[in-house]
Each structure stands twice: as structure tokens, then as C-alpha cells.
Amino acid sequence: MTAAIQVRDLAVRYGEVVALEGVSLEVPVGRVTGLIGMNGSGKSTLFKTIMGMVRPDRGSVLLDGAGPAAARKQGLIGYVPQSEDVDWAFPVSVRDVVMMGRYGHQGPTRRARAADHAAVAEALERVELTDYADRQIGQLSGGQKKRAFVARGIAQDARIMLLDEPFAGVDKRSEATLVQLLRELADDGRTILVSTHDLHALPQLADEAVLLLRRVLFHGSVAEALQPENLALTFGLDVLEQGPREAQHDERNVEGDAA
């Protein structure tokens, strides 16, 4: 199976803090891969390194055979950030946010053409936000905000999409809508890498799972990833007695995420 994301021997340090060490990973085309790990396990650092926002101390990243900077320039990769990384007070509409995905298609003037407006309208319809297109982005609910950024990736025609904790602060209905949407995007041939705390949603969401604790502990089927012995490697031995729901709760309460 062709790998859309290839990570080789990645190491990232913040001063004396080791965020990632020896991470190697291949994410296949047309599948949803869940990235699981406690706070401080390196999930966000891995995302930012794949995006080219963090320079690794060692190792390499290829996205459809291109480096991160070239992949971004070609519009190959879309990113749905964590909510706290976004200025929700910024005076832009939902339509404006989705139109940002078209910048790479518009040339230096960034003047929207008919094709751009059509792509934005189609993306908004696909994520069920057409009626909210002219609202200021901060006025949306948590789930609607996440869907707006997914729509930006759809309008961009990104072949690889990274979603960093898309279910955080989202109600169950919005979560189900997002899960269905991501499954549809994978069926369309896009590659989806999702960082999530929600272990119970993982079987419905992902084709495979990666367990991360500064290095890859496991990469395989969701069913195997959720086995107590594998969760224990990721979250600690107490998960053997607690189970996935309590492990998820503990993860949310760990302080000091090194990202």
C-alpha cells in the first residue's frame, strides 16, 4: 500500500526536553489513521514537524514524495489545528476561512474567480455549513468550527489532512458528523491523520492506529491498539484495571504537554 506520509527516524528536542526520539511512521493513502497518546507524548510536535512548522534535530518527512515546504506550496496538505491555536475573535467569516484554502490556486493577486467560489460553496455544502457561510468564525459552535477548517482543506483539494484533536470540546452529534465526513474523505482517496483523545470513537473513525510516547510504540489495527497491554504501554500500567474510558479521562488531566 502506498504511503502518503513517510517519517524516518525523527527526533525533536526543546532544549533539554525530548519531544520525539527515533519516530518512523508510514501513513497509507486513502485511510484514516488515529494518533493516540497522553499529553506530552509528542502528538502535536509530530503534527507540526510533518507540517514543516518545527525543524527536526534529526530525521526526515516526505509527503507524497515532497518535503513539507514543497508540499505546503503545492497545496498537498491541509491542517485542522487545536482550538486554542486559533484567534476566534479575528473578523473573518466562515466563507473567508474556507476561501483561504483556495489561495494556492489564485496566484499572487489572490483574486477569487468563479472556480474558487464554486469550490468554496461545494466544500461548505459538504460539511453542512452553507447556512452559516456569512457568520463570523468565532460565532460557530465547537463542532462547526472544526467542520469549517475541514471545509478549508476540501476547498484546497488537499490530498493529506492532519486534524489535531478535532473532537475536543465537540458534542456527540458533531463528533458523529465529523467521523462520517472523515470516512467519506478517505473513501475519496485522501489520507487522514487524526490526533484524538476519544478512544471510544476510534473503532468508528480509524482504519488503523498509532500509539505514541515520544516514539512509536505500536502501529496496526484499531482492535489491537485498544488491547489493554498496548494501552498500558501508552498510558501506564493502571490502564489495565481502568479500561479505555478512564484512560481517556486521565490523559485529559495530565499537565505539561510537551506537544
Contacts 24+ apart (CB under 8 A), 235-243: 235/38
The C-alpha angle 122, 128, 134, rounded to 5 degrees, equals 80
Task: Count other Cβ atoms within 10 Å, centred on residue 106.
Answer: 14
Q: Which residues contact 242 (CB under 8 A, 6 or more apart)?
A: 250
132 C-beta neighbours (distance < 10 Å), count: 20
Give the cell for residue 111: 483574486
161 near 191, Cβ under 8 Å?
Answer: yes
Q: What is the DSSP letter of 18?
A: E
Q: How far is CA 23 from CA 45, 86, 93, 217, 227, in A?
A: 11, 28, 38, 9, 22
Length of the chain: 259
Query: Is 70 exceeded by the pLDDT of residue 53?
Result: yes
84 vs 52: which has the higher pLDDT: 52
Q: Which of 74-83, 137-146, 174-183, 241-250 has the lowest mean pLDDT?
A: 241-250
pLDDT at 252: 41
- Check: CB of residue 143 under 8 Å from CB of residue 170: yes
The string over 173-206, giving b where at least 16 C-beta atoms fall within 10 Å of a residue's C-beta and e elsewhere, is ebbebbbebbbebbeeebbbbbbbbbbebbeebb
**DSSP code of residue 125:** H
pLDDT per position as a tens digit, 88-143? 889 999 999 999 998 877 767 778 889 999 999 999 999 999 999 999 999 999 88
Please report, for residues 41, 149, 192, 254, the alpha-carbon distance to residue 154 in angstroms, rounded to integers and kept in the order given: 29, 9, 12, 33
Question: Which residue reads 484554502 in cell numbers?
Answer: 101
Instruction: Tell me what pLDDT residue 1 has.
Output: 61
Mean pLDDT of 154-160: 93
